[in-house]
Structure 1
Amino acid sequence: MEEKINTDSKEHAVEILQQLNEYRKTGRHCDFMIKAGSEELPVHKNIMSASTTVNNLRKNAINLHCNVSKKLPSLMSWMDLDEKFISFLMESNETKAKEEGKCKMLLAWTKHDIDERKECFLGLVMKFQLTKMTLSYRRFLVENEPLIFESMQSIQSLTLSILDSHGDISSKDFNLPKNKQLVVFDQTSQRIHSLDVADKTWTPMQTMDQAIIKKLYSAVMMESYIYVICTNKLFYRLEYAESNAKWEQMANTNLQYACVVALDGFVYGIEYGKSSNIMERYDPSNNRWTRLANKSLILACESLVAADGKVFCIAGQSKQQYRATNQVEIYDPVTSTWSMDNRSLNEARYYASATATEEGIYVIGGYVNGKSLLTTVEFRSSVTKAWVMLKPMKTARHWFGSCVIDEEVYVIGGNGNPANIEEYDPEIKEWKIIETIPGKNIFPRATVAISI
Structure 2
Amino acid sequence: MEEKINTDSKEHAVEILQQLNEYRKTGRHCDFMIKAGSEELPVHKNIVSAICVKKCVDFIYTGDAYVAKEKRETLMGVAHMMQLQRLCDSITIFLEDDLDPRSFFQTKKIANRYNCKQLEEKCNQFALQRFIEIAQSDEFMDLDEKFISFLMESKETKAKEEGKCKMLLAWTKHDIDERKECFLSLVMKFQLTKMTLSYRRFLVENEPLIFESMQSIQSLTLSILDSHHGDISSKDFNLPKNKQLVVFDQTSQRMHSYAVDDKTWTPMQTIDQAIMQNSIYSAVVMESYIYVICTNGSFYRLEYAESNAKWEQMANPNLQNACAVALDGFVYGIEYGNYSNIMERYDPSNNRWTRLTNKSLILCGESLLAADGKVFCIAGYSKQQYRATNQVEIYDPVTSTWSMDNRSLNEARYYASATATEEGIYVMGGCYNNSGSTLITVEFRSSVTKTWIILKPMKNARTQFSSCVIDEKVYVIG
- One-letter identity of the residue aligned with 2:400: S
- One-letter identity of the residue aligned with 1:378: E
Query: Which residue number corresponds to residue 226 of structure 1?
Result: 290
Query: Which residue number corresponds to residue 277 of structure 1?
Result: 341
Query: Which residue number corresponds to residue 191 of structure 1?
Result: 254
- One-letter identity of the residue aligned with 1:217: Y
SS at match of 1:335: coil
Shift of 1:402: 0.4
Query: Which residue number corresponds to residue 212 of structure 2?
Result: none
Structure 1 runs (4+) greater than 2 angstroms displaced: 173-177
Which residue of 370, 376, 389 maps to 2:434? 370
Shift of 1:177: 3.0
Deviations for 1:368-422, whole angstroms, at most 9, x for unmatched residues? 1132100000000000000000000000000000011011100000xxxxxxxxx
Shift of 1:176: 4.1
1:34-433, aligned counterparts within 5 Å?
176-215=239-278, 216-371=280-435, 372-413=437-478
- 8 A contact 2:424–2:444 mirrored in 1: yes
Shift of 1:175: 5.2
- One-letter identity of the residue aligned with 2:270: T
Distance in structure 1 (CA, Å) of the matches to 2:261 and 2:412? 34
SS at match of 2:274: helix
Bigger proportion of residues as helix: 2
- One-letter identity of the residue aligned with 1:193: H
Deviations for 1:316-363, whole angstroms, at most 9, x for unmatched residues? 001134310000000000000000000000000000000000110000
TM-score relative to the length of structure 1? 0.52
- One-letter identity of the residue aligned with 1:391: K
Where does structure 1 lack aligned partners over 5 or more consecutive residues? 1-172, 414-452
Distance in structure 1 (CA, Å) of the matches to 2:238 and 2:385? 49
SS at match of 1:244: coil
Distance in structure 1 (CA, Å) of the matches to 2:246 and 2:293? 16
- One-letter identity of the residue aligned with 2:469: V
Query: Which residue number corresponds to residue 173 of structure 2?
Result: none
| Aligned residue pair count | 241
Where does structure 2 lack aligned partners over 5 or more consecutive residues? 1-235
Distance in structure 1 (CA, Å) of the matches to 2:394 and 2:440? 25
Distance in structure 2 (CA, Å) of the matches to 1:249 and 1:285? 15
Deviations for 1:113-144, whole angstroms, at most 9, x for unmatched residues? xxxxxxxxxxxxxxxxxxxxxxxxxxxxxxxx
- One-letter identity of the residue aligned with 1:380: R
SS at match of 2:398: coil
- 8 A contact 2:242–2:261 mirrored in 1: no
- One-letter identity of the residue aligned with 1:280: E
TM-score relative to the length of structure 2? 0.50
Shift of 1:174: 8.3
Task: Judge which range, 403-412 or 174-183, deviates more.
Answer: 174-183
- Identical positions, percent: 85
- One-letter identity of the residue aligned with 1:248: E
